[in-house]
Amino acid sequence: MNQYTIEGGTPLNGTIKASGNKNAALPCIAAALLTDEAVILRNIPEIEDVRVMFEVFRALGGTADPLGGRTWRLSADIKSCTVPEEAAEKIRASILFAGPLLARAGRAVMPPPGGDVIGRRRLDTHFLALTELGAQVDMRDSFVFTAGKLRGADVFLDEASVTATENAVMAAVLAEGDTVLSNAASEPHVQDLCKMLTAMGASIEGTGSNRLVIHGRNRLAGCDYTIGADYMEAGSFIGLAAATRSGLRIEGVLPEDMRPARVAFGKLGITWEHEGKTLCVPQYLPLKVNHDLGGMIPKIDDAPWPGFPPDLTSIATVVATQVEGAVLIHEKMFESRMFFVDMLIGMGGRIVLCDPHRAVVSGPARLHGAELRSPDVRAGMAMVIAALCAEGKSVISNVYQIERGYECLVERLSLLGANIKRE
């Protein structure tokens, strides 16, 4: 198993470009099943989750050919409706093939999806949405979805699930009649999918809101679509710059995607400037907690978009160990995500884990190198940040989890001056 060896304590410097949005690339790959014409997808990140999605796409009968420059040509001639179990176990995003397969072939066989172990991750909302559109679900072994002709419906999701919203939208674009999808997720990656589907000829109203109206079409065409930048990766690099006292420029970032992160990171004294699509983090930030009115301890908590992204709570927790003052980190959406703080405590972090969802972090703390293990994509990146600002050597194992979401991380960080090796 591969691992990272990191010597910390050295400020970084330079420019790094944000990769394409992982969470947009995955549903857009699945959406290419919705047409028999060629689909060109650009700015696709070179990460493990994308490789697995292409593996599934090919197993279903599609072709996925690299054109260079992170551009791929996809063509879908569906020959199978069964997602391979081995691939499904690797990533949760495998469930995203359910909607397109139902819409095109009327059947989808989905083994239970894998992915990050960050607590209970319901699939109920997927079943609710797809059954409202006319699908039947058999859950005795795998999840077997069947449908004659999907029909538009007035659907109210029981939670603003990103992947359930994406599945419902992909099913509805080829359904008969109109679909109203309320309490829909509206994250930038959901918007990317809706924009791609619109480029394919779908009729979708309300993109970017929590109420989508989809007018069903008989067929969709191919398209040429460019995935947006990964604002979660950009947020990770902001945290990296702050924790290591580094001056970094992050290219290719849309300012509007970073507004929720600006509010949360601002509570830790972290600011940045935008020069067009380049985000500039200064080296010498006043890393001091900004108290709430009356001198109260502030809270950084996650929420569905446009709230602070849950994927950045791990990053904020590490950064908070290097900031003067106390802050409450409240991870409301996943009950196991905060357990990684045990490793931070072992490195010298001053953290009280109040319960599975809340931790009080007091800083600044002098972290020291340690033997670490990546539990999931974002906590793994948080461990990399902690190791880079710690004194001495750290070894991080299970880096497969990190590389599922961060493209060529060792090479890119090395160019910034990080002492990091992959072994």
Domain segments of the chain: what residues? 3-19+229-422, 22-226
Residue 269: partners with Cβ closer than 8 Å, 6 or more residues away: 285, 286, 287, 288, 289, 290, 323
Q: Kindly tell me if the per-residue pLDDT of 122 is higher than 80.
A: no
pLDDT digits (tens, 9 = 90+) for 324-352: 999 999 998 877 788 899 999 999 999 99
CATH topology match: 3-19+229-422 vs 22-226: yes
Cα-flanking dihedrals φ and ψ of residue 62, to 5°?
A: -85, 165
Length of the chain: 423
Residue 383 pLDDT class (50, 70, 90 cuts): very high
Residue 358 in 3-state DSSP? strand
pLDDT digits (tens, 9 = 90+) for 223-238: 999 999 999 999 999 9
Does residue 133 contact residue 151 with C-beta atoms inside 8 Å?
yes
Q: Yes or no: is domain 22-226 CATH 3.40.50.20? A: no
C-alpha torsion angle, residues 215, 218, 221, 225 (rounded to 10): 30
Q: Kindly tell me if the per-residue pLDDT of 118 is higher than 60.
A: no
Q: What kind of architecture, by CATH, is found in domain 3-19+229-422?
A: Alpha-beta prism (3.65)
- Report the DSSP beta bridge partners of residue 383: none
Q: Kindly tell me if the per-residue pLDDT of 120 is higher than 70.
A: no
* Residue whose C-alpha is closest to residue 315's, from 422, 238, 374, 406: 238
User: Residue written as tokens 């006319």?
Assistant: 134
Q: Kindly tell me if the per-residue pLDDT of 117 is higher than 90.
A: no
- Residue 342 is a catalytic residue: no
Q: Radius of gyration over alpha carbons of the chain, in Å?
A: 21
> By percentage, how much of the chain surpasses pLDDT 90?
87
- Give the active site residue among 116, 192, 230, 301: 116
Residue 370 pLDDT class (50, 70, 90 cuts): very high
Residue 47 in 3-state DSSP? coil
pLDDT (average), residues 17-40: 97
Q: Which token pair is 73?
A: 């040509």
Q: Kindly tell me if the per-residue pLDDT of 116 is higher than 70.
A: no
Q: What per-residue confidence (pLDDT) applies to 139?
A: 84
Residue 276: partners with Cβ closer than 8 Å, 6 or more residues away: none
Residue 259 in 3-state DSSP? helix
Residue 178 pLDDT class (50, 70, 90 cuts): very high
Instruction: Report the alpha-carbon distance of residue 263 to residue 270 in Å, rounded.
Output: 9
Does residue 109 contact residue 142 with C-beta atoms inside 8 Å?
yes
Q: What is the value of pTM for the model shown?
A: 0.93
Q: What per-residue confidence (pLDDT) applies to 142?
A: 81
Question: Strand 107-110 to strand 143-146: parallel, antiparallel, or no bridges (unpaired)?
Answer: antiparallel
Mean pLDDT of the chain: 94
Q: What per-residue confidence (pLDDT) applies to 121?
A: 54
pLDDT (average), residues 131-148: 90
Instruction: Report the alpha-carbon distance of residue 261 to residue 272 in Å, rounded.
Output: 11
Q: What per-residue confidence (pLDDT) applies to 333?
A: 80
Instruction: Report the alpha-carbon distance of residue 91 to residue 397 in Å, rounded.
Output: 19
**Least confidently predicted of 87-96, 125-134, 147-156, 398-407:** 87-96
Q: What per-residue confidence (pLDDT) applies to 119?
A: 41
HEC secondary structure over 176-187: ECEEEEECCCCC
Does residue 26 contact residue 93 with C-beta atoms inside 8 Å?
yes
pLDDT (average), residues 99-121: 77
pLDDT digits (tens, 9 = 90+) for 101-110: 999 999 999 8
Q: What per-residue confidence (pLDDT) applies to 113?
A: 78
**Least confidently predicted of 88-102, 110-124, 143-157, 349-363:** 110-124
Q: Kindly tell me if the per-residue pLDDT of 73 is higher than 90.
A: yes
pLDDT digits (tens, 9 = 90+) for 241-256: 999 999 999 999 999 9
